[in-house]
Amino acid sequence: MTETLTLTHFIDGKAVSGTPSTESLNPSDTRDVVARFAEATTDDVNAAVAAARKAFPAWSAASPEVRSDLLDKVSNIIADRREALGKLLAREEGKTVPEATGEVMRAARIFKYFAGEALRRHGLTLDSTRPGIEASTYREAVGVYGQITPWNFPIAIPAWKAAPALAFGNTVVMKPAEDTPATAHALAAIIHEAGAPAGVFNMVLGRGATGGAIVNHADVDGVSFTGSQKTGAIIGAAAVARQARVQMEMGGKNPLVVLDDADFDRAVQCALDGAFFGTGQRCTASSRIIVTAGIYDRFVEALAVKAAALKVGPALDAASQVGPAVNERQLNQNLSYVDIAVKEGGRLVTGGQRLTLNTPGFYMSPAVIADTQQTMRINCEEVFGPVASLIRVKDYDEALAIANAGGLGLSAGICTNSLKYARHYQHNVRAGMVMVNLPTAGVDYHVPFGGTRRSSYGAREQGFAAVEFYTQIKTVYSWS
Ligand code: NAD
């Protein structure tokens, strides 16, 4: 066990503490209290928004070189500290150290990418239809952004929201998830250490009520949220009601289609990786594995053998391949979905049991549930744990119809050697991201990310798309 950290808010460039009332626990060993913190009050949120508003004019008018340099410095500090940050993330969230360190490096790369983007914000000049007139567009910073983040990528998601906001001249009030505040707090400390002017980046810690105070604040111009559909519905309604900009990335029920002609071993590996790595706690996880009849039985067996062989253990243990669920509630949710699937007629081939290991934590064995139907709850509701359900189909057409069932559309995969089916799927599956002969999870940091239908709302995040949400266009006509 390691020391318990005492966390602060960051408001107007200062660390602001209160009386610690809330704890984050190590899900691999619940005797280990990772951090203690005070939940932000409405006064704290008001002070953070006021600081962000005060800092906005100078930050938005600063040379893009100033913003680029800050982001570059943040990137370098994160990369230099990747091992310590990776261990903190693994300890607090429960993903294995290689996965956690990979996520830390992703955050570093995101800041590096947006250090470049800060210099590339540009407008257009158009030929006017009227003689003697020039028409042009500028991209301007918008103002103060509220950013609300979930626990499952506790440094990458804060990075992919903060970096573009700051790069394009906005100021930020962020509220990270209550289960993983220490990792986000470390990022806030780095942004200040790198020289962010007071008020440019603020962080308040707390639960949903703190997030609500940000979303409902009249002086917050835009809200970026990643989390569940349930919270998204509340945040979206509140932001739209007061005409604030809003962007939301929510859950998925991501299908992986496997056709008879696929490279069998690669397809099994795609399913294994997509369903179980990161303990299945990825919004892009493969949760519905739709397999054509010619290989279905062999595929179920091969996936079950590999899933049963995965080593579940403490995140900080080098031998572990799958860590714990993030908290007791998530673990119970995972186990209850296994029960529901079996009661509805699914066949539990392996796993799905709570595990008692040497340290008290939220462990379960990766579950493979075969012979499910699209109409079952296991295939309609997001589980967010190491649970894969398999659906047998007769052919590609039936596979596509099932892949497109339900209301979500984040990521969708297909394993096939047929160019015809791969191309058809790319164009016809209703998802924001399509993976061909790849797991549904696992994306680049410089490419737009997001879903369709109820998985996402508003402008895309990341890569070249981020400029849309974090700038506004001004059109200028001039005659002289
Ligand atoms: P959650 O919705 O419970 O919480 C997300 C954040 O919202 C937390 O910071 C929480 O404190 C805050 N919050 C809760 N109620 C609020 C309210 N009324 N007003 C303002 N803020 C509020 O989600 P979670 O359990 O932290 O994360 C898991 C979910 O996130 C899953 O559904 C997953 O699919 C989704 N997710 C989506 C993506 C994506 O990009 N599509 C990425 C990661 C996670």
Q: Is 317 exposed, middle or buried (0-12, 13-18, 19+ CB in 10 A)?
A: middle
Q: Which atom of ligand 1 is nearest to the CA of 410?
A: 41
Please name the residue whose Cα sits nearest to atom 36 of ligand 1.
227
448 lines ligand 1 (CB under 6 A): no
pLDDT at 2: 81
* Amino acid at the residue 125: T
Q: Tell me which of 225, 228, 455 to substitute to probe ligand 1's pocket, judged by most ligand atoms within 8 Å of the beta carbon.
A: 228
Q: Whose CA is nearest to atom 12 of ligand 1?
A: 208
**How far, in Å, from the CA of 477 to the mean position of ligand 1?**
42
How many angstroms separate the alpha carbon of residue 119 from the centre of ligand 1?
32
Token pair of 256, please? 């992986």
323 lines ligand 1 (CB under 6 A): no
Nearest to 379 by CA among 345, 343, 341: 341
Show the CA angle centred on residue 325, arms to residues 267 and 100, nearest 5°.
70
CA 413 → CA 129, 195, 229, distances in Å?
A: 46, 42, 22
- CB within 8 Å of 133: residues ≥ 6 apart: 477, 478, 479
* Residue nearest ligand 1's atom 42 by CA: 283
List of residues 6+ apart from 267 with CB closer than 8 A: 258, 299, 415, 437
Catalytic residue among 99, 178, 249, 382: 249
Centre a 10 Å sphere on the Cβ of residue 394 and count the other Cβ atoms it contains: 11
Residue nearest to atom 37 of ligand 1 (CA): 250
Out of 39, 103, 270, 283, which one is annotated catalytic? 283
Check if the beta carbon of residue 289 is closer than 8 Å to that of residue 258.
yes
Pocket test for ligand 1, best of 175, 231, 329 (most atoms within 8 A of CB): 231
> Is 32 touching ligand 1 by the criterion CB < 6 Å?
no
Ligand 1 centroid to Cα of residue 226, in Å, is 5
The answer, yes or no, to whether residue 156 has pLDDT greater than 90, is: yes
* Residue 79 confidence class, pLDDT cut points 50, 70, 90: very high
Compute φ and ψ for 364, nearest 5 degrees.
-145, 155
250 ligand 1 Cβ < 6 A: yes
325-349 pLDDT, tens digit each: 999 999 999 999 999 999 999 999 9
Cα separation, 245 vs 462, in Å, equals: 17
Task: Report which ligand 1 atom has the smallest distance to the Cα of 151.
Answer: 26
Question: Is 152 near ligand 1, meaning CB less than 6 Å away?
Answer: yes
- Compute, in angstroms, the gap from residue 149 CA to the centroid of ligand 1: 6
For residue 385 and ligand 1, the question of a CB distance below 6 A is answered with no
Please indicate whether residue 215, judged by its CB atom, sits closer than 6 Å to ligand 1: yes
Q: What number is the average pLDDT over the span 97-105?
A: 98
We find that the CATH architecture of domain 5-250+455-479 is 3-Layer(aba) Sandwich (3.40)
> pLDDT digits over 183-236, tens only?
999 999 999 999 999 999 999 999 999 999 999 999 999 999 999 999 999 999
- pLDDT single digits (tens) 383-441: 999 999 999 999 999 999 999 999 999 999 999 999 999 999 999 999 999 999 999 99
Predicted local distance difference test score (pLDDT) of residue 480:
84
Same topology for domains 5-250+455-479 and 254-448, yes or no? no
CB neighbour list of residue 366: distance below 8 Å, 6 or more residues apart: 275, 276, 280, 307, 308, 310, 312, 322, 350, 351, 386, 387, 388
Beta carbons within 8 Å of 243's beta carbon, 6+ residues apart? none
Distance 47 CA to ligand 1 centre (A): 24
Looking at 39-160, which runs of residues are DSSP E strands?
124-127, 133-141, 144-148
pLDDT score recorded for residue 1: 57
CA 91, CA 460: separation in Å to the nearest integer? 31
Is 380 an active-site residue?
no
Distance from the alpha carbon of residue 248 to the mean position of ligand 1, in angstroms = 10
- Whole-number percent of the chain with pLDDT over 90: 99
CB of 39 closer than 6 angstroms to any ligand 1 atom? no
Picking from 139, 136, 140, 141, the residue whose alpha carbon sits closest to that of residue 124 is 136
Question: CA-CA distance, 385 to 278, in Å (whole number)?
Answer: 9
Please tell me whether the overall predicted TM-score, pTM, comes out greater than 0.95 for this model.
Answer: yes
Which residue minimizes the CA distance to atom 43 of ligand 1?
Answer: 283
Question: Ligand 1 centre from 176 Cα, in Å?
Answer: 9
The token duo for 22 is: 């809330």
CB of 76 within 6 A of ligand 1: the answer is no
- Report the candidate in 435, 477, 471 with the shortest Cα–Cα distance to residue 164: 471
Sheet holding 367-370, edge to edge: 347-350, 367-370, 387-393, 286-292, 254-258, 411-415, 433-436
Say yes or no: CB of residue 211 within 6 Å of ligand 1.
yes
| Class in CATH terms, 254-448 | alpha beta
Q: What angle do CA 93, 99, 100 make, to 5 degrees?
A: 45
Query: Quick check: helix, strand or coil at residue 409?
Result: strand
Domain residue limits, the chain: 5-250+455-479, 254-448
Query: Ligand 1 within 6 A of 434 CB?
Result: no
What DSSP state is assigned to residue 280?
A: G
298: number of Cβ within 10 Å: 12
Contacts of 410 (CB under 8 A, 6+ apart): 251, 252, 254, 283, 284, 431, 432, 433, 450, 451, 452, 455, 456
Alpha carbons 137 and 126: distance in angstroms, whole number: 8
In the chain, DSSP finds a helix count (H) and a strand count (E) of 14, 25
List, in sequence order, the alpha helices (H) in 138-180: 156-167
CA–CA separation, 292 and 439 (whole Å): 17
Q: What is the mean pLDDT of the chain?
A: 97
- Does the beta carbon of 148 lie inside 6 Å of ligand 1? yes
Report how far residue 440's alpha carbon sits from residue 253's, in angstroms, rounded to the nearest whole number: 10
Give per-residue pLDDT as tens, 254-301: 999 999 999 999 999 999 999 999 999 999 999 999 999 999 999 999
